[in-house]
Amino acid sequence: MLTKRQNLLETIHGGHPDRFVNQYEAFAMQVGNAFSAHNPAPKPGELNVVNAWGVTRSFPAGTPGPFPVHTPDKIVIKDVEEWQKYLKVPNVVYSAQEWEPFIEAAEKVDRNEQFCTTFIAPGVFEQSHYLMEIQNCLMAFYEYPDEMHEILDQITQFELDLAKEICTYIKPDALFHHDDWGSQQSTFLSPEMFREFIKPCYMKIYKYYKDHGVELIVHHSDSYAATLVPDMIDMGIDIWQGVMTSNNIPELIKQYGGKISFMGGVDSATIDYPGWKPEDVAREVDRACRECGKLYFIPGASQGLAMSTFPGVYEETSRQIDLASKKYF
């Protein structure tokens, strides 16, 4: 039997996996780091917590995660033409002593069995609209392109500085990077604008990680982003996590398998709801595994971590994936 790490590599390299990769099983996720320890985040039920960027976030009970609060008084960059007046980029350089708990956690990972995986969120695009509010941000890409390039340069340099610290202290095998690029039906930016503004940032960020020992880049965007897959390949993304059924995953695998793999395909709306039913999970997991096949595909729900909105759904999804492995392998 292959290790979890070996089985994932066989899957994404078109080899001979002996079962489906079961959601996040191959990733030993390292969510914290010395910067995040200094970056306040709301816990479930907490409201109006201000982070190191000055962004206010709330985590209402019953929601899948925290969200930025954008009442007029809480928008950080209130005037994009004067962004320098408002934007204060946080420090990422901390002592080795402050990194020690995170180094110890990484050292406990059996790297023969799993990838020691650094988790980064929010991403470049998300950080820009967290600072500005989503509608203001999207309009600014059209109306103030020069200023948006300057803001994105600041966010990118922050990410590169943090990447240097992470690679120095944690030495991860994989990076799990969060940045939602669309809704369920379309991308937030056209492919042309994405290539102008967002792609160059990730060409730098993901290149740095790959140049400093990171074997796998896993990018989370639980959205429609099929039109961006060629750009994901250019950026060095190995696995697109969060891929929704609206992307026509079997067609993406047919077209791009061998260059990139796809993690998701289990429709969260179908299985993750109040009073969820195991038979719905079984039906949806079987459909995804049957339609998408054994190679270049990792079945799972679209959430950006090993979790579900409603208790028990993630675990039942994993159980059904194991059953699908017995059926299809």
Containing domain of residue 201, as a range? 4-33+73-328
Q: Which residues pair with 299 in a beta bridge?
A: 264
**Residues contacting 279, CB < 8 A, separation 6+:** none
Helices (H), 212-310: 229-235, 249-256, 268-271, 278-292
- Does 91 map to a domain? yes
- Does 51 map to a domain? no
Residue 23: both structure tokens together: 């959601």
- Does 56 map to a domain? no
In contact, 263 and 243? CB cutoff 8 Å: yes
User: Residue 121 to residues 7, 36, 244, 320: CA-CA distances in angstroms?
Assistant: 27, 10, 20, 29
Task: Report which of 322, 223, 239 is spatially closest to residue 281, judged by C-alpha positions.
Answer: 322
Distance CA 172, CA 27 (A): 11
Confidence (pLDDT) at 187: 97
Predicted confidence (pLDDT) per residue in 211-237, tens digit: 999 999 999 999 999 999 999 999 999
- Does 157 map to a domain? yes
| CATH code, domain with 320 | 3.20.20.210
In contact, 144 and 81? CB cutoff 8 Å: yes
End-to-end C-alpha distance for the chain, whole angstroms? 13
Distance CA 325, CA 169 (A): 37
Question: For the residues of 117-171, what is the DSSP string, one character each?
Answer: EEEE-S-HHHHHHHHH-HHHHHHHHHH-HHHHHHHHHHHHHHHHHHHHHHHHHT-
Map tokens 């944690």 to a residue.
170
Full-prediction pTM beyond 0.95? Answer: yes
Number of domains the chain contains: 1
Confidence (pLDDT) at 304: 83
Distance CA 6, CA 278 (A): 30
- Does 320 map to a domain? yes
Confidence (pLDDT) at 260: 98
Confidence (pLDDT) at 314: 96
Q: Which residues pair with 45 in a beta bridge?
A: none
- Does 41 map to a domain? no
Per-residue pLDDT of the chain (329 residues; tens, 9 = 90+): 999 999 999 999 999 999 999 999 999 999 999 999 999 999 999 999 999 999 999 999 878 789 999 999 999 999 999 999 999 999 999 999 999 999 999 999 999 999 999 999 999 999 999 999 999 999 999 999 999 999 999 999 999 999 999 999 999 999 999 999 999 999 999 999 999 999 999 999 999 999 999 999 999 999 999 999 999 999 999 999 999 999 999 999 999 999 999 999 999 999 999 999 999 999 999 999 999 999 999 999 988 889 998 999 999 999 999 999 999 99
- Does 22 map to a domain? yes
- Does 194 map to a domain? yes
Distance CA 256, CA 195 (A): 19
Strands laid side by side in the 261-265 sheet: 27-30, 115-120, 174-178, 216-220, 239-243, 261-265, 297-300
